[in-house]
Amino acid sequence: MTPERATTSAGQVFFASAARNLETLVAEELRGLGLQDAKETRAGVRIRGSLADAYRALIWSRVASRVLLPLAELDAPDAETLYARVREMDWTAHLAPGRTLAVHLDAVRSGIAHGHYGALKVKDAIVDRFRDLGLPRPDVNTRRPDLAIRCHIFRNRATLSLDLSGAALHRRGWRVQEVAAPLKENLAAAVLLRAGWSDIATAGGTLLDPLCGGGTLPIEAALMAADIAPGLLRTELGVHWGCTGWRGHDARLWDALLAEARERRAAGLARLAKQGFRIQGSDLDPRALRAARVNAERAGLAGLVRFERRDLSDCAPSAGDTRGLVVANPPYGERLGASGGDDSRHPALYATLGAVLRERFDGWQAAVLTGKPELGKVMGLRARRFHSLYNGPIECRLLHFAVTADAHVSDRPRPLPPAERGPGAEMLANRLLKNHRALAKWLRAEGISCYRLYDADLPEYALALDVYGSADPETPERRFVHVQEYAAPADLDPKAARRRLREAIGVIAESLAVPQHDLFFKVRQRQRGAAQYQRLSHSGRFHLVAEDQLKLLVNLADYLDTGLFLDHRDTRRLVRELARDRHVLNLFCYTGSASVHAAAGGARSTTGVDLSRSYLNWAQRNLALNGFSGRDHQLIQADCLDWLADARAHRGRFGLIFLDPPTFSSSKRMRGTFDVQRDHPGLIQGALSLLAPDGELIFATNRRRFRLDVDALDQAIRREGRSDSRLDIRDISAASIPRDFKRSPHIHQCWWLRRRG
Please report the domains of the chain, with CATH numbers, ordered by start residue.
4-163 (3.30.2130.30), 185-230+264-407 (3.40.50.150), 418-525 (3.30.750.80), 563-756 (3.40.50.150)
**d(C-alpha 358, C-alpha 405), whole Å:** 8
When pLDDT is cut at 50, 70 and 90, the band that residue 527 belongs to is: very low
Lowest average pLDDT, out of 160-164, 457-461, 492-496, 746-750, goes to 492-496
The pLDDT score that the predictor gives to residue 349 is 87
> Sorting pLDDT into bands at 50, 70 and 90, what band is 313?
confident
DSSP 121-176: HHHHHHHHHHHHTTPPPPEE-SSS-SEEEEEEEETTEEEEEEESSSS-TT--S---
Q: Would you place residue 666 in the very low, low, confident or very high pLDDT band (cuts 50, 70, 90)?
A: low
d(CA 231, CA 496): 56
First-to-final CA distance of the chain: 98
Query: In this structure, which amino acid lies at residue 7?
Result: T
Statement: residue 588 has pLDDT above 50 = yes
Give the integer Cα–Cα distance in Å for 646 and 636: 13
The predicted model gives 373-377 an average pLDDT of 86
CA distance 455 to 446: 21
What pLDDT does 339 receive? 32
DSSP string, 285-298: -HHHHHHHHHHHHH
668 Cβ contact partners less than 8 Å away, ≥ 6 residues apart: 284, 285
How far is Cα of residue 179 from the mean position of the Cα atoms in its chain? 13
On average, the pLDDT of the chain sits at 90
pLDDT higher than threshold 90 for residue 317: yes
Q: Are 181 and 336 in contact (CB under 8 A)?
A: yes
Distance CA 697, CA 205 (A): 56
Please report the pLDDT score of residue 532 as a whole number. Answer: 45
| Residue 455 and residue 741 in contact, taking contact as beta carbons nearer than 8 Å | yes
Query: Mind listing the pLDDT tens digit for each residue in 501-522?
Result: 899 999 999 999 999 889 998 8
Collapsing DSSP to helix, strand or coil, 283 comes out as: strand
- Position 434 pLDDT exceeds 70: yes
Query: Any idea which of 223-227, 304-308, 710-714 has the lowest mean pLDDT?
Result: 710-714
For 537-580, how does the pLDDT look when each residue is reduced to its tens digit (9 = 90+)? Answer: 656 789 999 999 999 999 998 788 899 999 999 999 999 999 99
Mean pLDDT of 466-475: 95
User: What mean pLDDT is predicted for residues 524-542?
Assistant: 56
Mean pLDDT, rounded, for 79-108: 95
* 500 phi, psi to nearest 5 deg: -60, -35
Question: What is the distance between the alpha carbons of residues 275 and 278, in angstroms, rounded to a whole number?
Answer: 9
In this structure, are residues 189 and 308 in contact, taking their beta carbons and an 8 Å threshold? no
Residue 8 has pLDDT above 60, yes or no: no
What CA–CA distances, in Å, run from 457 to 137, 428, 434, 741, 746? 83, 9, 11, 12, 15
Lowest average pLDDT, out of 334-338, 421-425, 736-740, goes to 334-338
CA dist., res. 65 & res. 529, Å (int): 40
Q: Across residues 606-634, what is the average pLDDT?
A: 95
Confidence tier at 713 by pLDDT (50, 70, 90): confident
Q: What is the pLDDT of residue 336?
A: 35
Check pLDDT > 70 for residue 533: no
The pLDDT, as a whole number, for residue 486 is 84
* % of the chain beyond a pLDDT of 90: 74
Angstrom distance (rounded) from CA 432 to CA 418: 16
> What's the rounded mean pLDDT across residues 645-652?
87
Query: Which run of H or E residues covers position 701?
Result: strand 691-701
Q: How far is Cα 722 from Cα 640, in angstroms, rounded to an integer?
A: 24
Residue 735's nearest CA partner among 538, 574, 588, 547 is 574
Q: 693 pLDDT exceeds 70? A: yes
pLDDT at residue number 261:
98
> What residues contact residue 329 under an 8 Å CB cut-off, 6+ apart?
183, 191, 211, 213, 217, 368, 369, 370
| pLDDT tens digit sequence for 722-737 | 555 678 999 999 999 9
pLDDT of 720 reads 64
The pLDDT confidence band at residue 390, using thresholds 50, 70 and 90, is very high
Evaluate whether 481 touches 512 at the Cβ level (below 8 Å). Answer: yes
Running DSSP on this structure, what letter comes out for residue 518?
G
In the three-class reduction of DSSP (H, G, I as helix; E, B as strand; rest coil), residue 344 is classed as helix
| Mean pLDDT score, 464-477 | 95
